[in-house]
Structures are given as C-alpha cells and as structure tokens.
Amino acid sequence: MCGRTACTLAADEVSRASQYRTRGGQRRQPKWKDGDSDNYRPSYNKSPQSLSPVLLSQRHFDKNSPVDVCVLAAMRWGLVPSWFKEDDPNKMQYSTNNCRSESLLEKKSYKDPLLKGQRCVILADGFYEWRRQEKDKQPFFIYFPQTQGPGRLKTEDQLELPCKKEPQTCTSEEDNVDLKKEDKEDSEWTGWRLLTIAGLFDCWTLPSGGDPLYTYTVITVKASPNLQGIHDRMPAILDGEEEVRRWLDFGEMKSLDALKLLQSKNTLTFHPVSSLVNNSKNNSPECLQPVDPQAKKKPSASSKMMMGWLKSSTPSKRKEPDTGDLKEERHMGEARPEKQPKNTGPLQQWLQGAAKKPQTK
C-alpha cells in the first residue's frame, strides 16, 4: 500500500486543477517543467515505475526562484536514492514505492531527501486499495468527496462543462504568474478535485553521467477509521491549499515540523470497482466504474455525483491514456482479471472521447 493510482486529466487540466497560493496568499497556476507535460500520460491504472504528475517547489530546479513558487514535473514512481551506485535503477533490491511516516528518519533512502527539503505532492484522481476476503480481494477506488464549489464537482443539473473553455495560457515571460482577478472566474477549476498526497523525491544520475532521473515515494500513515476495513495503511493526505503550501515550502517549514502534517485523515470516500484493475495492463475507464459486488447496496451519494459529472462532461480536450509502457504488475497476488466489457458506456465516452484514435507515441 499504496500500489496503484489513477490520474485521467490531461496535462493542461492537471495544471488548472493544481492551482495554489503563495505565502502572501497570491493565487497561481503552476507550469510544467521543461517539456514534462509531453512525458506525462493520463492513466486509469498507474502502477510503480510509471510517470505521475508531481507538484514541488521550483527552487529545486532553479536556485533563484522563490521557495513558495511551485512547478509540475513528471516523475517516476519508486524512489531511486541519489547515492545508488549501480548503472541501472531497475537493479534496486528493495521496494521504495512507499515509505512509512514513522520511520522516515531511520532509513537513509528517505532521511537524506527529507532533511534536504525534497518534499513533493503526488497528484491523482484517487488510489486503489484491496480488501482481503475469504477467497479473493475486492478492489476499491478511494478519493476526495466531490462537492459543489471551486475545485469540487457540481451536481449534474448545475454542472458547467470544464472542457468547453479554452485552457488559460500565459503570455508573460514567466508562465507561472498570479491569476488576474478578472480572469479568476474562468480560471478556477470546477472539475474533479485531485488527491494531494505527501511524498519525497530524489534525483539520480548514472555514475558515468547522463540525464537525471527524478523519482518519488508515497508516504503512508495508519489508515483512518473509515478506511480501516479495507487496509491498515493509507497515503498521507494533505487536505487543502494551506497544508499543501506548508509541505512544499521547505524554506518556511523545516523537516521535523513538516512531519507533523503527516496524519491520518478521515476525509476520503470510496466505492468498489471491478477486478479489472488487478492487472495494470488493464488501462480503461472500467477500472474506475463503481460496481456493486453484493448487488444489494445502493450507490453512495459521492459515487453518484462522480458518475453524474462523468456523464455530463465532454472529452474533446483529453489525451488518450498511455497503454504501451506499463510493466505487468500484480498487486500482492490478486486473481486474474475479468474480461473487459465490450460496450462503451458514458464513463468511457467521457474519459476517452468518442471515435478518437489511440496515441502511438
């Protein structure tokens, strides 16, 4: 735990959905680092070794940048320490996909980046977790409750389609600029509220030189009361702009103080999903589709709201998910996945786009 996430927003939508405030309360929209928007691919089923959108202080890349200015980067899941001496990061003999908050200062792999201020926020629609049952495991999709307001979903009859508006573009020399008051209404994100997960990152290069590899690990804490029935651990969730700002601002908040933000939070909701998600090669909208394994329970209000928004949204601006570079990852021995449904439902139409050709890049 945590071993699987989903992030289905296109690169420009991720930027809009991850607006933040500086120390002075200025609202900003982060830009992508050095073409990383081209490296990022939306996915319904992200596993370790894949690239995820990560928010962090721009000071890590530009020493002249203010610490409280943020940037987006596409980083590989599974931390490779900067001191790793092998010529191939895949030769790591132990897993660094997750790290326990209780032992961050005990293991060199995590202690070094923590004390250097290399804190980041992993962005995702939500994450998957499996509940053990007698003969198999039931997967769940876990995410922020989606309610009306900026950064939340609206009910189906109130919903404005976020993709009908052209993405905001910056014309000044610095793309990461304060959002103008007159543009605030247009620029505020009213789509899916992304999960903001606390993490650490590091930068590794081949001993012989070469391009740097940026990787991250997800910090975990004890599960909140409402999730303990699924699993005993959960990602450390940063709830709200202020917690995100404090976690990323390593100039204002020192490492030991930042650890106090890593608490179990009873703020997430969830719904059961198909066992299709058990195999990371299954990268389709059905992975997120709420199912009823008992065929008796009514869908929760939050999952109803999710489906309402998905049905009402337009996919015209979305990228196709990446299906070519993921390794086959089995989550702790789940059963072989079921066959994917052949019918194209409203969720698939929204996330993929009708009659859209797959990307071959």
Residues with catalytic function: 2, 129
Contact by Cβ (8 Å): 223, 230: yes
CA dihedral 158, 161, 162, 166 (to 10 degrees): -140
What distance in Å separates the CA atoms of residue 56 and residue 214, rounded to the nearest whole number? 12
Farthest CA pair distance, the chain: 60
Contact by Cβ (8 Å): 236, 200: no
What distance in Å separates the CA atoms of residue 259 and residue 261, rounded to the nearest whole number? 5
Nearest one of 178, 337, 352, 192 to 273, comparing CA atoms: 337
Q: Identify the three-state secondary structure at position 197.
A: strand
What distance in Å separates the CA atoms of residue 341 and residue 183, rounded to the nearest whole number? 42
Contact by Cβ (8 Å): 78, 215: yes
C-alpha Rg value of the chain to the nearest Å? 20
